[in-house]
Amino acid sequence: MKLGKIRKRTLILTIAVISGFFLVLYAVSSAILTQSFAHLERREVTESLERLENVISREQSNLESIAIDWSMWNDTYRFIQDRNEEYVASNLLAETFVSLDINIIVFLNLSGSAVYTNVYSTDTYDDIQFPEDIMAHLAPEGLIFRSNQEENRVTGFLNLESGTLLIAACPILKSNGEGPPMGTLLMGRWLDDAMLRFMENATSLTLSYRTSEELQGYLELGETEFSELNSTGMTILPLSGEIVAGYLSVKDIYGNNALIFRAELPRHIFQQGQITLLYILSSFAVVSLMLGILTIDLLESRIISRLNNLEKEVVGIASSKNPSGRVSVNGDDEISSLATNINRMIESLEHARAYLEESEQRYRAIVEQQTENICRFTPDFVITFANDAFCRYLNRNREAIIGESFLSLIPDDYKQTLITSSRSLSPDHPTVAYDHPVTTPNGIRWMRSAQTGIFDQNGVVVEYQLVGRDVTEEKRIESELQKYREHLEDLVRERTKELEIINKELQSEIAERKRIEKDLVESEKRYRSVVEDQTELIVRHRPDGTIAFVNPAFCKFFGKEERELIGTPFLQRIANKDRELLGNSIGKLSPSLPVTSSEVEVLDHRGERAWILWTHRGIFDDDGRLIEIQSVGLNITDRIKLMNEVIKIQKLESIGMLAGGIAHEFNNLFTAILSNIALAKLNMPENTVAYQRLTATERSIWTARNLTQQLLTFSKGGEPIKEVTEVKEIIEGALKLVPVNPSVEYDLAIDDNVSPVDVDKGQMMQVLANIIMNAHEAMPGGGKITITARNSDYNLDNSTFAIQSQYVIVSVVDSGIGIPPENLSRIFDPFFTTKTHGKGLGLSVAHSVVKKHGGHIEVESEIGKGTVFRIYLPAANNKKIETKTMEQVETPASTKALRILLMDDEEDILEVISEMLKQAGYEVDCSKEGRETIEKYKRAIKEGKPFDIVIMDLIVREGMSGKEAMKELLEIDPNVKAIVSSGYSNDPVMAEYGRFGFSGVLPKPYSMKELIDAVNKITAEKMNKGKATNEDA
């Protein structure tokens, strides 16, 4: 054996294994990362397009709300009939177009004639020419004119020669919404650069658009993209390695594709994926190189060099022809054991040399007898003797065989035959010949034996002798025996040298063959055990897809027996939409790419959807042809569902944050508007039209405030800010939040003496609206919803939730399909829903809000009869209901000299609130953030003119917030009196202001009366405290 060849082959094999390992890692990593990052990028663009779609929808809704507000007005109703100029002079001013952000307004009477038209440019602040081509759309037979019917409205885009117009057309009705309609009011807004910039700011996207006639402007769109736009309304197309574009199709009022918006986004996710893949491959290359060097070094130092030394020593002994020479033994491993055995063999040969010369003839006779397998065993079949041939036949030493049962060598199905043959022997017939199987390390072999019974003087058998030979491999054994005789003759002639070489080669070959056969048997057993015990799904199928093998886990998952699956198509188990994906993955298998993977959807034995990650390994013949595929499937259903839930939670958190921010901004705007109205009304007689208009505007703003409270409820921020409210007001407000459904009938039964409740009115309206909308969905064909409210003395002994004795019970009863018993206990769980497009949050939010109010919600349902929801709210019998009115306020004479420091980051709010306080007789100073407030407060103390009260906004855009500023003010003056104010009315600081050092709270928006009352309350507390101190003194 040439050690140089071993070294070379070892090096080649090591390099090949490590290279193959690197290539497999490269292929798997590249496929997984590229697909994952592409999916993430597409999801990001889709979410951006959905955000743009929501902005467009919101603009349409805003314009429709404005049109409804103007069309459902008694003044408009009269104007369309008498065309009075006072209406035009008072309402249709340039400021109206600017404040409403509209460009065109048209009044049509019932005959289709234009009573009034005007087009105004908000860029040049001047009237412009009326677009004549719009008149074709205003014809009596047109869609817009038909909107004068009482329930019809038209909202959407309209392409004209002069540009694209967003319009809203509504029937002209009375203020109470009743008819008959007197005509149609149309309002429009140009889709110009200003609106496009607004959309870009709202969505944080770079936008452009084309009309249906200008689609050739987007040259990059092909037939596939247009097809996807027509079917889904969206498509996505990478423009380069840095930019990806998303396209959104928007329909006009006739339902035709009118506009295509293009949003451009940087490909951060794609570029990050390329960088990540590069880093991973570099790491794999370095690790593979280091592993190869280490492996080669270990093989060289631990094995090859030692074998080289051993070979040199053996050759040296052979060359010297000195049988007394020995090889060196170093270490305690297989190589040192080989050296020891070589020394023993040389020593045995040396001792046997003389014996061989003297008894060559006797030795030859013994060797010749070894062609037969001979053993002896007792009547109970315990082996007492075995010759060398028998030991070699079993590949076991004599010590291991002696004392073992001969029946243990015989297969179970032949043991009784051997026992019967043995029992049939007698002194008259002492011998029997038969063929029988024997269990050997090489498997079951057949031996032809002659069994002889040895009897004592009484004819009792004392022992059996069996002489047999292997008839399965008779020719091979005869050939090996002949070769063995020839080798013996050579060994005798050439003495120890020739005997050593032949014996070494023979023993090495036999040992290697037996070791390989044993390893193969054990390997097969281990493989089968591993496959049978695997929890992963294992299937082997032919290139045509026919299943050839399945493990128990595969059978259990699909609920089939193995015999039912063998011979059936593998693709039959895969969902139709993923069969092509799996087929493509298997089609990529080749000798250079033996492993691929695919993630597909299947149906398990219960018929439920599941996701399996299949790893496919190709099995090829010597010519590289694919002969079989082994696919191992990992059930990743839980992981997929968890990822989907995480994505839903992240989306909802983002929407919640946006809702809270919008509510805060609206509350700031409402504060400024209400305060300006209050100032305007101070010097205005109550019986004037302008005063009544301002009062009506106030009521509308307070109604709008309830909408911002619903946004804050959705954003789940903090504890509720409670106020004593009539239950009837909550129910009526909730019904206004529910879309009108003519097929649903309402029956309200509210007791006359029902107690008021102490709740966050906006949150509780949303709770009731969620339950009523669920009732709508439970009655797809229409039905009746009964809403009741009554007092209840709920005894503590009868309840596990009651924290007081009196409650108001609000019940919502529907006549719908009912809730199955197995779902009844889960309806309040987050994300639990049985709807196709539901989010599973409505009832979960309702349950959470009611609990925060110290109440309770329960449900009863019966399939086919309907469902009852009962809400228990703590009664507020001893509290007064505060009304949101702007009465004339009076300030006690003792507070005229009070100094107030007002902090807010909104310039409009600072100006109007400070003016209100000055009108009330207070001395006011202003600041825009916390640090400025602290400096002015310290300066006032130093100058001897300290502030009596500080009113602070909780959150500011820049600088120190009111919460942080309050901490420092308390360190400067522990007796500081401060009122916290914020548009985030359900912030924890607003709910528990006293815990943070504040003396009062003013949720935005607030009226002038609420502002002065809050100041007077703190002033009264200070005066009472001072009076008590003087009396004590």
Tokens representing 934 are 């602290």
Q: In angstroms, what CA-CA distances link 863 with 644, 694, 779?
A: 31, 52, 12
**H or E, element range at 745:** strand 744-750
* Maximum Cα interatomic distance, the chain, rounded to a whole number of Å: 150
User: Per-residue DSSP letters for 257-318?
Assistant: EEEEEEEEEE-HHHHHHHHHHHHHHHHHHHHHHHHHHHHHHHHIIIIIHHHHHHHHHHHHHH
Q: In angstroms, what CA-CA distances link 595 with 20, 89, 735, 855?
A: 12, 80, 61, 60
Burial of 335 (0-12, 13-18, 19+ CB in 10 A): middle
Q: Compute the distance between CA of residue 118 and CA of residue 104 in angstroms, rounded to an integer.
A: 6
Whether cis (ω within 30° of 0) applies to the bond prior to 180 is yes
**H or E, element range at 433:** strand 431-440
Tokens representing 764 are 């509780």
Q: In angstroms, what CA-CA distances link 133 with 165, 185, 625?
A: 12, 18, 71
Residue ranges in 72-103 assigned as alpha helix (H):
74-82, 85-91, 94-100
pLDDT along the chain (1033 residues), means of 10: 64 80 74 77 86 89 90 90 88 86 89 86 77 79 64 84 88 87 90 86 85 69 80 85 86 85 84 78 78 77 72 73 69 75 74 59 52 88 89 88 90 90 90 87 86 90 90 69 71 67 74 71 59 79 91 89 90 86 90 91 85 92 90 87 66 60 69 76 76 75 64 56 85 85 89 88 85 88 92 55 73 91 76 58 77 87 91 81 48 61 88 86 91 92 92 87 90 91 75 85 83 86 64 52
Percent helix, strand and coil across the chain, each to the nearest 5: 50, 25, 25
User: Per-residue DSSP letters for 155-214?
Assistant: EEEEEETTEEEEEEEEE-B-TTS-S---EEEEEEEE--HHHHHHHHHHHT-EEEEEEGGG
Tell me the CA end-to-end span of the chain in Å, nearest whole number.
116
**Predicted local distance difference test score (pLDDT) of residue 147:** 57
* Half-sphere exposure at residue 43, Cβ-oriented, CA atoms within 13 angstroms: 11
SS3 872: strand
Whether cis (ω within 30° of 0) applies to the bond prior to 1005 is yes
Amino acid letter for position 516: I
Q: Are strands 257-266 and 243-251 parallel, antiparallel or unpaired?
A: antiparallel
How open is the CA angle 584-589-591, to the nearest 5 degrees? 165
Cβ atoms of residues 187 and 99 within 8 Å: no
Task: Name the nearest CA neighbour of 285 among 33, 58, 543, 22.
Answer: 22
**H or E, element range at 1000:** strand 1000-1003
User: Per-residue DSSP letters for 764-802?
Assistant: HHHHHHHHHHHHHHT-TT-EEEEEEEEEEE--GGG-SS-
107 conformational bin, left if phi > 0, alpha if psi -120 to 50, beta if neither: beta
**Predicted local distance difference test score (pLDDT) of residue 651:** 62
Ranges of beta strands (E only) in 14-153 are: 104-109, 114-121, 126-127
Q: Compute the distance between CA of residue 984 and CA of residue 850 in angstroms, rounded to an integer.
A: 20
Dihedral in degrees, nearest 10, Cα atoms 621, 626, 632, 633: 180
SS3 1023: helix
Tokens representing 11 are 């090096």
Q: Compute the distance between CA of residue 852 and CA of residue 718 in angstroms, rounded to an integer.
A: 10
With the C-alpha atoms ordered 88, 90, 94, 96, is the resulting torsion angle positive or negative? negative
Question: Which residues are within 8 A (CB) of 968 and not within 5 positions of it... i.e. 6 or more apart?
Answer: 930, 934
What value does the CA radius of gyration of the chain take, rounded to a whole number of Å? 48
List b or e across 609-625, with b for residues whose CB sees 16 or more CB atoms inside 10 angstroms. ebbbbbbbebeeeeeee
How open is the CA angle 609-604-594, to the nearest 5 degrees? 95
Task: Name the nearest CA neighbour of 725 among 733, 713, 717, 736.
Answer: 733
Q: Compute the distance between CA of residue 953 and CA of residue 722 in angstroms, rounded to an integer.
A: 20
Q: Compute the distance between CA of residue 486 and CA of residue 484 in angstroms, rounded to an integer.
A: 5
Task: Name the nearest CA neighbour of 908 among 723, 679, 581.
Answer: 679
List b or e across 112-136, with b for residues whose CB sees 16 or more CB atoms inside 10 angstroms. beebebbbbebeeeeeeeebeebee
Task: Name the pTM for this structure.
Answer: 0.36
Please report where in the chains the tokens 């595929």 appear, as a residue: 629
Q: Compute the distance between CA of residue 555 and CA of residue 383 in angstroms, rounded to an integer.
A: 47
Amino acid letter for position 368: E
Task: Name the nearest CA neighbour of 282 among 4, 536, 25.
Answer: 25
Q: Compute the distance between CA of residue 402 and CA of residue 382 in angstroms, rounded to an integer.
A: 8
Cβ atoms of residues 466 and 454 within 8 Å: no
User: Per-residue DSSP letters for 597-651?
Assistant: EEEEEEE-TTS-EEEEEEEEEEEE-TTS-EEEEEEEEEE-HHHHHHHHHHHHHHH
Taking residue 456's Cβ as centre, other Cβ atoms within 10 Å add up to 10
Burial of 42 (0-12, 13-18, 19+ CB in 10 A): middle
Q: Are strands 949-953 and 978-982 parallel, antiparallel or unpaired?
A: parallel
Cβ atoms of residues 103 and 190 within 8 Å: yes
Q: Compute the distance between CA of residue 717 and CA of residue 711 in angstroms, rounded to an integer.
A: 10
Q: Are strands 1000-1003 and 443-455 parallel, antiparallel or unpaired?
A: unpaired
Amino acid letter for position 862: E
Cβ atoms of residues 579 and 592 within 8 Å: no
- Ordered by where they begin, the domains of the chain are 72-197 (3.30.450.20), 321-358 (no CATH), 373-472 (3.30.450.20), 535-635 (3.30.450.20), 727-880 (3.30.565.10), 893-1032 (3.40.50.2300)
Q: Compute the distance between CA of residue 996 and CA of residue 320 in angstroms, rounded to an integer.
A: 102
Q: Are strands 537-541 and 626-635 parallel, antiparallel or unpaired?
A: antiparallel
